[in-house]
Structure 1
Amino acid sequence: MADTAASAWGRDTAPDGTGFIRAGSGAPVLLIHGVGMSASIWQPQIEMMKDSHDLIAIDMLGHGASPLPPENAELRDFADQAIRLLDHLGLDSVSVVGHSMGALIAQEIALRAPSRVSSVVCLNAVFRRPPAQAQAVRERAAALGRHRDRSAIAATIARWFGEPIPADLAGAAATARAALESVDAQGYARTYRLFARADAEHGDRLAGLSQPALFMTGSEDRNSTPAMSAAMARLAPNGQCLVLSGEKHMMTIASPEKVTQHINTFLENPTHAASAGIDPAFDVTEFRRALGSFLTGVTIVTTIGAEGEPRGFTANSFTSVSLEPPLVLVCIAKKALGHSAFSTSRGFAINILSESQKTESGIFASKAVDKFAAVAWQPGQTGNPLIDGSVAVFDCGMEQLVDAGDHSILIGRVRDFSHNGAQPLGYCRGAYVTPGLSQEALAAAPPETEVGAILENEGRVLFFETADGFHELPAGRGLGTPGDARSLKGRLAARAIDAQLGFLFAVWDDAADPSRTHVYYRGTVDGPYSDDRRVRLVDIEHIAGLKIADPAVRSMLDRYARERAEDQFGVYVGNEVEGEVRPLAKPAPAAALHSGHR
C-alpha cells in the first residue's frame, strides 16, 4: 500500500514515476484526464466526492509529473500505466471515470483487465469521427512540435468554450488555458497523435465491455458529439447514454456540480438506467402538459362487466398497432374505477367520437353512476356496447394485457368495425377541438373576408414591416391559393414563406362596416427565407414595442402573448370594440380524458 499520508489532499509519485493525487475514503474511483490537462483538473470532482469515495486522479503519460509515453504510443501504454498504479495502491477493483482521451484509456483498461474495473464513466468520449473531423484532428496533430504554439492554444480554448468566451465560463477557460500552457510539449504531441487516430480503436471491441458503462457528453460538444456517445452506449452490452443540455467539451470544469451529480448517481447504482430517476426535479405536471400538446381524437372504450352491466370510460390514449393481424390498443389507469372490469374482460370496443358527441365524452369521463342511460348504444358482434353516432367503432377481443407503470395497455384484436364520413372530435391541451367546424366556416366565408395568421417560430412571431416603420401580420382577402396574390396564401407564397395554419384564434366584424369580417388563425412557420428585409421574426416579449396601426390587431396580439404564456388559448368573437374570448370548448377533465381514469 502507498503511504497513507497520500490520501490527504496532495500529490504523490508511484515507483515508475507516475504522478497522482489521492483523496477521500470509500469506494475507489480512478480519474483519468484528457490531453493537455493533468490530475489537478479533477479538483472540483475531488472536492464534491471525497466524502464518499477514495479518489485517485492520475497524471497520464506525458502530463503532469508522469514520464513521457513512447514515441509511437498506443492506448495499452496508458492503460498499463494505470494498472501499475492500482497495483501500487493495492486496489483490486475500481470504478474508472475518464474525460476525452481519458475515456479511451478507461475503456482500454476495462477491456484489457475486466476484473479490475467495476464500472466505467466515459465523459465527452470520441468515437468514429466523421471524415472531415478526423482529417482536421490529424492535421492539428501533425502540426505539433517540441514547443507549444500560443495561437494553437487559443484555437483550442475557442473550440472548447466559444469565441468570445462567455463571462460565466471565463474561470473554467482560464483553468484549461493554464493547463495547456504548462503541459510538456513533447508529451502533449505524442499523446495527441495517438488521440487523433484512436477514435475507432474500440469499435469492434465494445461488445466485450461487460461492465456497466455511462457515456455522457454535452449537447453542444462538436468534438465528442451526442451521436458518438449514443453509438458507444448502443454497442456496449450495459451501456447508457446521457446528454447534458447546453454543455460543451470541457463540461467537467464548466459545470462541475451538474456533471459530478450525474457521476455520483451512476456510481451509486450503475445498473440503473441513466434516464430513470436521474433528474430528481422531473415535473409530472409539465410532463402531462407536454403530452397534451399532441392533438388526438377522443374515444369511449366499453365492455361488459362480470355482472353483465355495461362499463365505459373516455380516453384519447388510443392507437393502431397492426394491420395483419388487425390490432389496436388503448390505455387505462390502474386506479380507474373500471380497471378490474377491463383488465379481466374477454374484449372491449373503442368508439371514436364525432364533433357532436362532446356531451357523451364528458359523461364517460365523469363519475356518473349510470353513464349508459344518457347515450344510445347497441351490442356489437362480441356483445360490447357500440355507441350510436360514433365516427368509427372497433369491436375487439382481448389479445394481450400489458403492465405499463401506473397504466395497463389493452391490446385488442379487431373482430368487427364500421366507420362513416362524420367529422371526428379532437382534444388538445385540456380542451376539445373541432377542426371541421373552423374549416367549413372559412370555406363559406364571403370572398372579401380578411384572413390572417399569427405565425410562430421558436418564440418569435412573423411580421411584415411597412415602409413607414409599422408592423403587420400576414393577411389577405380570403385564405385563397398560392397563385392568388390578394389572399393570405398568395401573400405568403410571394415571399417564399412556408407556413402551417393551426387553430382559429379570433373572428371579429368591423364596427364601421359590419359586412367586413376578420378571421385570424394561429400557426407555425419554418422561417422567412425571402430576401425581403421587411419580413421579420420578432420575439414575443418584444411585440409590445412594435408600431401596429390596427388597434384590434394590437389587442389580439396582447391576448396571444398572455394566453401563450398560460398555454390556454381561446377564440375571440365580436368586433374590434367589444366581444368575448370563448375557450375552444369547456375544458374536459384532463387527467381522466388523457389517461382513461374513469
Structure 2
Amino acid sequence: MSGVYQRHWPGDKDRPALALHCMLASGSYWGPIADRLNGRIDLQAFDMPGHGRSGDWTPEPGGPDYHTTITRIAASFIDRPLDLIGHSMGATVALRIAVAAPEAVRSLTLIEPVLFAAAPDPLQQARDAEILGLVAEGRDKDATRAFIDAWGAQSFDDMDPRAQVQMQQRIGMVANNVAALSHDNAGILRDGGLEAIDAPVLLISGQDSTPVVHAIADALAARLPDVGRATVPGAGHMLPITHPDQVAGLINVNLDRA
C-alpha cells in the first residue's frame, strides 16, 4: 500500500474494525468517533489516494476505476472477520466488500451510502450530469462548488481558501465514481448479493439529508436480511463530523448486535 496513509486507534484486539471515509475528506474524522467508542474496537482507517496524507491517484488506461482501487485497498486490511464502518462513498465500498465476501464482515454500519443506482433519482442524475460537464470543460472550481453545496457540511464559498483549492484538485475523482455509484458497474446490487449478507447491518441517515439518501436506505433495507435503521435529528450528510456523539452511539448499538 505504498503512498496510502494508514490511521490506527488502538482498542480490543479481538474486535478489529475498519472505517472508510467519504470523498473530499480524510480518515482523520474517525478519530473523535474512536475516542467515543473508548477502545471497544481496534479501529483502523486510511486516507484514500488523493485525500488527506495519502499520495495522488492518477487513472491509468485500462486500469481500475477509483471505486475499485479503494475497494482493493480496503480489502487488504482484512485478514479475519471485522466490524466494517463506512460513510457516503466509503459506505458503498464497505457494502461492496460485504457483498463479495460476507464471511469477512462481523457487523456492517453504513452511514448515508450514496449508491444512487439503488434508487434512481432525477435530481441526482442532473447533479451527475452537471459535475461531469463542468469537469469536462475544465471548470473544476464550479464543479467542486456544485458537489460541496449538495453534500458538504458548509457551503463551498464559506470554506477556507486552501481547502477550496485542495478539493478542486480532487474533483476529478468524484467524476470518476459516477459509473460505480449511479450505474453500479461493480454489481453491488446483483441478484442475491445483498441477501447473502448475514452480519447485522445498521443504516444511519441524517434527518436533514437530501431525499435520495433516504430512498437509498429504503431500497437497501428492503433486501438486507438483518438490518436496523436510525435517523439522527438535525443532521445532514456529514454527520460523522457534525454529530460524532450520536454516530458513535449508534455504532455501539450495532456492535452489540454482532
Mapped contact 1:148–1:181 kept (Cα < 8 A)? no
Mapped contact 2:81–2:106 kept (Cα < 8 A)? yes
Tell me whether 111-120 or 72-81 shows the greater mean CA deviation. 72-81
Shift of 1:50: 5.0
CA distance in 2, matches of 1:124, 1:29: 19
Q: What is the match of residue 256 of structure 1?
A: 244
Tell me whether 234-243 or 73-82 shows the greater mean CA deviation. 73-82
1:68 partnered with 2:60: no
Mapped contact 1:69–1:190 kept (Cα < 8 A)? no
Q: Aligned match of 1:24 in 10, 15, 20?
A: 10
1:132 partnered with 2:131: no
Deviations 1:315-338 (A, max 9, x none): xxxxxxxxxxxxxxxxxxxxxxxx
CA distance in 1, matches of 2:59, 2:203: 29
Structure 2 counterparts to residues 425-574 of structure 1, below 5 A = none
Q: What is the match of residue 43 of structure 1?
A: 31
The amino acid across from 2:106 in the alignment is S
Tell me whether 227-236 or 132-141 shows the greater mean CA deviation. 132-141
SS at match of 2:230: strand
SS at match of 1:78: helix
CA distance in 1, matches of 2:66, 2:142: 28
SS at match of 1:85: coil
CA distance in 2, matches of 1:78, 1:160: 20
Shift of 1:137: 3.4
CA distance in 2, matches of 1:92, 1:179: 39
Mapped contact 1:24–1:52 kept (Cα < 8 A)? no
CA distance in 2, matches of 1:81, 1:213: 22
Q: What is the match of residue 150 of structure 1?
A: 141
CA distance in 2, matches of 1:187, 1:130: 21
Structure 2 counterparts to residues 353-372 of structure 1, below 5 A = none
Q: What is the match of residue 238 of structure 1?
A: 226
CA distance in 1, matches of 2:121, 2:215: 15
CA distance in 2, matches of 1:246, 1:186: 31
Q: What is the match of residue 59 of structure 1?
A: 47
From the superposition, tell whether residues 185 and 130 of structure 1 become closer, same or farther in structure 2 (CA, over 3 Å): closer
1:101 partnered with 2:89: yes
SS at match of 2:114: coil
CA distance in 1, matches of 2:42, 2:164: 27
From the superposition, tell whether residues 162 and 94 of structure 1 become closer, same or farther in structure 2 (CA, over 3 Å): closer
Structure 1 regions of 5+ residues with no counterpart? 1-13, 271-598
From the superposition, tell whether residues 100 and 219 of structure 1 become closer, same or farther in structure 2 (CA, over 3 Å): same
Q: Aligned match of 1:198 in 184, 188, 203?
A: 184
Shift of 1:147: 6.9
The amino acid across from 1:59 in the alignment is D
The amino acid across from 1:107 in the alignment is L
Higher percent of residues as strand: 1
The amino acid across from 1:82 in the alignment is A
SS at match of 1:195: helix
Deviations 1:58-81 (A, max 9, x none): 223443315526455164432222
SS at match of 2:9: strand
SS at match of 1:228: helix
Structure 2 counterparts to residues 149-168 of structure 1, below 5 A = 149-160=140-151
Mapped contact 1:142–1:193 kept (Cα < 8 A)? no
From the superposition, tell whether residues 137 and 158 of structure 1 become closer, same or farther in structure 2 (CA, over 3 Å): closer
Higher percent of residues as helix: 2
Q: What's the TM-score once normalised by structure 2's chain length?
A: 0.79
Mapped contact 1:96–1:117 kept (Cα < 8 A)? yes
Mapped contact 1:119–1:267 kept (Cα < 8 A)? yes
From the superposition, tell whether residues 208 and 257 of structure 1 become closer, same or farther in structure 2 (CA, over 3 Å): same
Larger Rg: 1
CA distance in 2, matches of 1:184, 1:138: 16
The amino acid across from 2:85 in the alignment is V
Q: What is the match of residue 77 of structure 2?
A: 85
From the superposition, tell whether residues 194 and 111 of structure 1 become closer, same or farther in structure 2 (CA, over 3 Å): closer
SS at match of 1:92: coil
CA distance in 2, matches of 1:83, 1:93: 11
Structure 2 regions of 5+ residues with no counterpart? none
CA distance in 1, matches of 2:169, 2:255: 30
Structure 2 counterparts to residues 145-294 of structure 1, below 5 A = 149-160=140-151, 177=163, 181=167, 184-191=170-177, 194-198=180-184, 201-203=187-189, 204=191, 205-222=193-210, 224-270=212-258
Q: What's the TM-score once normalised by structure 1's chain length?
A: 0.37
The amino acid across from 1:30 in the alignment is L
From the superposition, tell whether residues 244 and 179 of structure 1 become closer, same or farther in structure 2 (CA, over 3 Å): farther
**Structure with larger RCO (C-alpha < 8 A, sep 6+):** 2
CA distance in 2, matches of 1:258, 1:81: 28
Mapped contact 1:95–1:118 kept (Cα < 8 A)? yes
Mapped contact 2:99–2:188 kept (Cα < 8 A)? no
Shift of 1:249: 0.8
The amino acid across from 2:71 in the alignment is A
CA distance in 1, matches of 2:222, 2:104: 23
Mapped contact 2:180–2:186 kept (Cα < 8 A)? no
SS at match of 1:144: helix
Q: Aligned match of 1:34 in 6, 9, 22?
A: 22
Shift of 1:113: 2.0
Shift of 1:196: 4.0
CA distance in 1, matches of 2:126, 2:254: 34
